[in-house]
């Protein structure tokens, strides 16, 4: 576990008529400024509240899901400037439109679209909207995912207050697992890691979300080419609409003995 991701504090715990002082562990929440360098010009793109750790992955994933990066080759290098700033150096001839983000440079841990300047600005385009996906999974495969995720969630086990996004292959093995106080940050970390370490699109993998499935998470999954998304919690109405439009199979309320299929049920056998 990354010690920079947690804080140890003193608390008073009350149980019935007993009050006692105890040590407790909580997940850290700190701002991260994402900057880009192109040529000789540095631009500050956003500030997001996140759990420290895997900040480079978060920065790359954010830029990719915002549509400012297309491939791994768009990035020359990534480096931390102190504890709460990440600088992404881009190739000089990259055609990048900073207006794509249209942010007021602040994103909370609970909202990945906060600060967007218009309704149109929250919409993203996916190059993989019509991509073919031959992957089909069984109900048994799905039912085992939450337990597999929970067994490897170090930060959640320690703090009880963190979100996770995990990528599974067709055998049910976890390929990537990222955690953060912000559900959108956890997914950006996963997508950023995937972009820089193997490949996008992630068409042949299953994404599991530890909480609810919101519109913004479905959009990020779509940008990465993910075609099967399962969530332990509930989906929103706009998440369902987006999944249907993007050709994504969306599963919600995933438990050991039951789940709901909201869109594109043909991939569940």
Specify the CATH class of 30-122 in words. alpha beta
Computed on alpha carbons and rounded to an integer, the radius of gyration of the chain in Å comes to: 19
Average pLDDT score over the chain? 88
Is it the case that residue 155 has pLDDT exceeding 70? no
Q: Which residues are known catalytic residues?
A: 111
Instruction: Give the confidence band of 157 by pLDDT, cuts at 50, 70, 90.
Output: very low
Is it the case that residue 113 has pLDDT exceeding 50? yes
Of 156, 143, 219, nearest in space to 25 by CA: 156
DSSP 3-state assignment of 9? strand
The answer to whether 234 and 254 are in contact (CB under 8 A) is: no
The answer to whether 47 and 58 are in contact (CB under 8 A) is: no
Q: How far apart are CA 163 and CA 186, in angstroms?
A: 7
Sign of the C-alpha dihedral computed for residues 260, 263, 267 and 269 taken in this order = positive
Helix (H) or strand (E) holding 51: none
The answer to whether 195 and 223 are in contact (CB under 8 A) is: no
Mean pLDDT of 211-230: 96
Res 111: pLDDT: 63
Which residues in the chain are classed under CATH 3.40.140.10?
A: 139-267
Instruction: Give the confidence band of 58 by pLDDT, cuts at 50, 70, 90.
Output: very high
* Prior bond of 201 cis (ω within 30°): yes
| Segments in the chain forming alpha helices (H) | 55-65, 139-151, 154-159, 183-197, 215-223, 237-246
How many C-beta atoms lie closer than 10 Å to residue 84's C-beta? 14
HSE of 49 in the Cβ direction (CA atoms, 13 Å)? 16
Res 2: pLDDT: 59
Which residues in the chain are classed under CATH 3.10.20.10?
A: 30-122
As a whole-number percent, the residues of the chain with pLDDT over 70 amount to: 86
Res 37: pLDDT: 95
DSSP 3-state assignment of 5? helix
- Nearest-10 crossing angle of helices 55-65, 183-197: 90
The distance of Cα 217 from the centroid of its chain, to the nearest Å, equals: 7
Domain 139-267 has CATH 3.40.30.160: no
Given the structure tokens 């085992």, which residue do they identify?
144
Instruction: Give the confidence band of 5 by pLDDT, cuts at 50, 70, 90.
Output: confident
Q: How far apart are CA 100 and CA 98, in angstroms?
A: 5
């Amino acid at each position: 576990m990354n010690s920079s991701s947690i804080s140890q504090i003193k608390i008073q715990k009350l149980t019935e008529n007993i009050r006692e002082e105890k040590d407790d562990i909580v997940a850290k929440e700190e701002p991260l400024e994402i900057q880009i360098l192109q040529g000789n010009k540095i631009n500050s793109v956003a500030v997001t509240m996140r759990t420290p750790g895997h900040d480079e992955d978060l920065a790359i994933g954010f830029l990719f899901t915002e549509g400012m990066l297309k491939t791994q080759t768009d990035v020359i290098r990534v480096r931390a400037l102190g504890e709460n700033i990440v600088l992404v150096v881009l190739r000089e001839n990259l055609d990048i439109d900073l207006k794509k983000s249209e942010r007021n440079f602040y994103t909370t841990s609970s909202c990945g679209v906060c600060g967007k300047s218009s309704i149109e600005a929250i919409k993203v385009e996916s190059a993989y909207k019509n991509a073919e996906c031959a992957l089909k999974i069984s109900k048994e495969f799905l039912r085992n995912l939450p337990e597999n995720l929970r067994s490897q969630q170090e930060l959640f086990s320690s703090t009880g207050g963190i979100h996770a996004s995990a990528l599974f292959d067709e055998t049910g093995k976890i390929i990537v697992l990222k955690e953060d106080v912000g559900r959108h940050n956890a997914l950006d970390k996963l997508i950023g890691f995937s972009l820089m370490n193997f490949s996008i699109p992630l068409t042949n993998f299953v994404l599991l979300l530890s909480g609810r499935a919101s519109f913004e998470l479905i959009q990020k999954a779509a940008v990465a080419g993910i075609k099967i998304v399962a969530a332990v919690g509930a989906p929103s109405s706009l998440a369902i609409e987006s999944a249907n439009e993007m050709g994504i199979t969306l599963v919600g309320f995933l438990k050991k003995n039951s789940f709901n299929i909201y869109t594109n049920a043909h991939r569940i056998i």
